[in-house]
Amino acid sequence: MSLNPQQDSRILGYLIEETGLQTSQVVHTIALLREGATVPFIARYRKERTGELDEVQIRTLEERLAYFTELEERKATVLGSIAEQGKLTPALATRIETTRQKNELEDLYLPYKPKRRTRAMIARERGLEPLADLIAAQQLTSGTPELAASSFVDPQGEVPDAEAALRGAADILAERLSEDADMRAVVRRLTWEQGLFCAKVAPDFAGKVSKFEMYYDYQEPLREVPSHRMLAMRRGEKEEVLRLSIVAPEEELLQRLKNRLLERESIFRPVLEDIAVDAYRRLIAPSIEVELRLEAKKGADEAAIGVFADNLRNLLLLPPAGSRRVLGVDPGLRTGSKLAAVDATGRYLEDATIYPHTGKSQVEPARQQLLRLIQVHGIEMVAIGNGTAGREMDLFVRETLSKAGMNLAVVMVNEAGASVYSASDIAREEFPDLDLTVRGAISIARRLQDPLAELVKIDPKSIGVGQYQHDVNQPALKKALDDTVESCVNFVGVDLNTASWALLSYVSGIGASLAKAMVRHRETQGAFGSRADLLKTPRFGAKTYEQAAGFLRIRGGVNPLDNTAVHPENYPTVEAMAADLGLSVAELAAAADKVAGVRLERYVTETVGLPTLRDIVEELKKPGRDPRRQFETVSFRDDVREISDLKEGMILPGTVTNVAAFGAFVDIGVHQDGLVHVSHLAHRFVKDPGEVVRVGDIVKVKVLTVDAVRKRIGLSIKEAQPEQGSPQRPAQKPQRKPQPEPSKDPSAWENAGFRVRRK
What number of other Cβ atoms are within 10 A of residue 646's Cβ? 20
- pLDDT one-digit tens code per residue, 471-483: 899 999 999 999 9
Domains of the chain plus CATH, in order, are 5-112 (1.10.10.650), 119-308 (1.10.3500.10), 326-449 (3.30.420.140), 520-621 (1.10.150.310), 643-751 (2.40.50.140)
Question: Is the pLDDT score of 742 beyond 80?
Answer: no
- pLDDT one-digit tens code per residue, 49-70: 999 999 999 999 999 999 999 9
Banded model confidence at residue 466, pLDDT cuts 50, 70, 90 = low
- pLDDT one-digit tens code per residue, 300-350: 999 999 989 998 999 899 999 999 999 999 999 888 999 999 999 999 999
Look up residue 404 and give its amino acid: A
Q: What is the dihedral of CA 30, 36, 42, 45, to 10 degrees?
A: -130
- pLDDT one-digit tens code per residue, 224-250: 999 989 999 999 999 999 999 999 999
Q: Is the dihedral of CA 492, 732, 229, 304 positive or negative?
A: negative
Question: Is the pLDDT score of 747 beyond 60?
Answer: no
DSSP secondary structure, 217-263, as one string: EEEEEGGG--HHHHHHHHHHHHTTSEEEEEE--HHHHHHHHHHHH--
Residue 51: half-sphere exposure toward Cβ, Cα within 13 Å:
12
Banded model confidence at residue 467, pLDDT cuts 50, 70, 90 = low
Banded model confidence at residue 661, pLDDT cuts 50, 70, 90 = confident
Q: What is the dihedral of CA 148, 152, 154, 157, to 10 degrees?
A: -140
Q: What is the dihedral of CA 675, 679, 684, 689, to 10 degrees?
A: 50
Give the whole-number percent of the chain exceeding pLDDT 90. Answer: 72
Higher pLDDT among residues 689 and 737, named by residue: 689
Backbone angles phi and psi of 365, in degrees to 5:
-55, -35
pLDDT of residue 1: 58
Contacts of 687 (CB under 8 A, 6+ apart): 738, 739, 741
What number of other Cβ atoms are within 10 A of residue 420's Cβ? 18
Banded model confidence at residue 156, pLDDT cuts 50, 70, 90 = confident
DSSP assigned state of 275: H
SS3 55: helix
Asked if 62 and 41 count as a contact pair (C-beta separation under 8 A), the reply is no
> What is the average pLDDT across 378-386?
94
pTM to 2 decimal places: 0.84
pLDDT of residue 727: 45
pLDDT of residue 598: 84
DSSP assigned state of 731: P
What number of other Cβ atoms are within 10 A of residue 479's Cβ? 15
- Please state, in angstroms and rounded to a whole number, the distance separating the CA atoms of residues 691 and 109: 44
Question: Is the pLDDT score of 754 beyond 60?
Answer: no
Mean of pLDDT over the chain: 90
For residue 499, count CB atoms less than 10 angstroms from its CB and return exposed for 0-12, middle for 13-18, buried for 19 or more: buried
In terms of Cα–Cα distance, which of 415, 409, 361, 410 is closest to 386? 415
Asked if 380 and 326 count as a contact pair (C-beta separation under 8 A), the reply is yes
Question: Is the pLDDT score of 459 beyond 90?
Answer: no
707: which strand partners? 712
Asked if 572 and 558 count as a contact pair (C-beta separation under 8 A), the reply is no
pLDDT of residue 106: 95
- Please state, in angstroms and rounded to a whole number, the distance separating the CA atoms of residues 493 and 510: 13
pLDDT of residue 709: 86
- Please state, in angstroms and rounded to a whole number, the distance separating the CA atoms of residues 596 and 481: 38
pLDDT of residue 420: 86
In terms of Cα–Cα distance, which of 305, 341, 340 is closest to 325? 341
Question: Is the pLDDT score of 207 beyond 60?
Answer: yes
- Please state, in angstroms and rounded to a whole number, the distance separating the CA atoms of residues 639 and 391: 11
Where is 725: in which H helix or E strand?
none
Banded model confidence at residue 755, pLDDT cuts 50, 70, 90 = very low
pLDDT of residue 735: 43
pLDDT of residue 756: 39
Question: Is the pLDDT score of 678 beyond 80?
Answer: yes
**Lowest mean pLDDT, pick from 83-92, 235-244, 276-285, 456-465:** 456-465
> What is the average pLDDT across 689-712?
90
Question: Is the pLDDT score of 6 beyond 50?
Answer: yes
pLDDT of residue 417: 79
- pLDDT one-digit tens code per residue, 277-297: 999 999 999 999 999 999 999
- pLDDT one-digit tens code per residue, 576-587: 999 998 999 988
